[in-house]
Structure 1
């Protein structure tokens, strides 16, 4: 039986949210790289008993506050999104339970069943951003599709977006007319 991916993609204004990453190893670095590649103005609080040298080098010029200490429930205060990526499965599960009780979105590395969201593949060309999800089934396929889209989308896509935005601003009728006109003008952009 064919099942549809039930995930709802959204684009967050990360500079308005408080992120917490619990863990300081390889996976924490991977999550930080992914987050900052897409959203360089993000502010992150990191709790870890140790932080790898590569992670310290990466965060050197970023808005990341590190507390070298064990995780405590009070670390969740004021947080909107938490990423649990310790090497301790029991601790990751506890963080997930704590987040659920407090209504905080949580991603637990390598445990799709405990995640409220996934950090899927993202393609960025100027102001065009495309999110790719395999519903947690194959991050590798999402990565390959991202690489393919990055290769085929032209760098000039921002110029097209600016032109379309300027044209849309000249339209004076109601919303339905604007949608019809924009659909008509963009119809020929793709085969």
Structure 2
């Protein structure tokens, strides 16, 4: 079986729909909360997981509808638009006002993803094809052929995200592999390592003014790669670089800073 295309799907502040109110729906909600999505949950009329209700009460779920799913839920936030694809050609999308209208529609009106987490096969199949008709990315829980995307096991340390996917074939194995990765990084503040290196990269872009030709860009990339390879992940996680420290290091470009770790610690 061919592998999936693993991507980081940006859903921050975008509409996401979860259909269902049980354990699987809750797991989808947790994924979306970490991604800072605007989450709508349609629970059905059965028992709703109490944590879903609690998350809504805390404002982490935008809207909680404790009722059965309705087909119109898939477009519940959409508003009439002058930019009807059936009436306007793509080549006619040229003005800033049109750009803004499209941005608002994508951000506030159209679901970025739909997750169906119910045990009704007939209804979930209907929802899948309704989403396909509306061009909405959809995941039907426990039915890999009806999934545009999968939820793998995630290892998170704020800025660091590692996803392990078995293409929906063995979620349990994904979790075992994720737990093994977590043990390897036990006691290491990976997020600080990322912040230190991210700060150096950002200050390099801000302070180093050279041509934006491919050669100059490659030189800057090679510089930051070489500096990244100076130290181990643990060593990068134990540094505390300020913006002033980073600027002093970056101003040495195109020369390299010393490789001695003590020099970096004393910055």
Relative to the length of structure 1, the TM-score reads 0.85
Query: Cα deviations across residues 155-186 of structure 1 (Å, max 9, x unaligned)?
Result: 32222222222332236352211222222233
How far off is 1:46 after superposition? 1.3
Q: 1:17 aligns with which of 14, 17, 35?
A: 14
Structure 2 unaligned runs (5+)? 76-109, 211-215, 234-267
Root-mean-square deviation (Å):
2.1
Give the count of matched residue pairs. 185
Structure 1 unaligned runs (5+)? none
Q: Tell me, what secondary structure is at the counterpart of 2:124?
A: helix
Equivalent pair of 2:41/2:61 in contact (CA under 8 Å): no
Equivalent pair of 1:124/1:150 in contact (CA under 8 Å): no
Q: Distance in 2 between matches of 1:148 and 1:64?
A: 35
Which residues of 2 match residues 72-91 of structure 1 at below 5 A?
Answer: 72-77=70-75, 78-91=110-123
Q: Tell me, what secondary structure is at the counterpart of 1:8?
A: coil
Query: Cα deviations across residues 97-137 of structure 1 (Å, max 9, x unaligned)?
Result: 00000010000000000000001111112311112111111
Which residues of 2 match residues 88-127 of structure 1 at below 5 A?
Answer: 88-127=120-159
Specify the alignment match of 2:193 in structure 1. Answer: 160
Query: Cα deviations across residues 44-103 of structure 1 (Å, max 9, x unaligned)?
Result: 111122323343234432224122222222111132211111120111111000000001
Specify the alignment match of 1:141 in structure 2. Answer: 173
2:68 aligned with 1:26: no
Q: Distance in 1 between matches of 2:156 and 2:29?
A: 17
Q: 1:19 to 1:166 in 2, by over 3 A?
A: closer
Q: Distance in 2 between matches of 1:46 and 1:156?
A: 34
More strand by share: 1
Equivalent pair of 1:23/1:49 in contact (CA under 8 Å): no
Q: 1:72 to 1:183 in 2, by over 3 A?
A: same
Moved more, 84-93 or 108-117: 84-93
Query: Cα deviations across residues 11-34 of structure 1 (Å, max 9, x unaligned)?
Result: 233223211111112321232233
Which residues of 2 match residues 55-66 of structure 1 at below 5 A?
Answer: 55-61=52-58, 62-66=60-64
Q: Distance in 1 between matches of 2:221 and 2:204?
A: 13
Q: 1:91 to 1:128 in 2, by over 3 A?
A: same
Q: 1:157 to 1:21 in 2, by over 3 A?
A: same
Q: Distance in 2 between matches of 1:4 and 1:86?
A: 27
Bigger RCO of structures 1 and 2 (CA < 8 A, at least 6 apart)? 1
Q: Distance in 2 between matches of 1:26 and 1:161?
A: 33
- Higher Cα Rg: structure 1 or 2? 2
Q: 1:60 to 1:149 in 2, by over 3 A?
A: farther
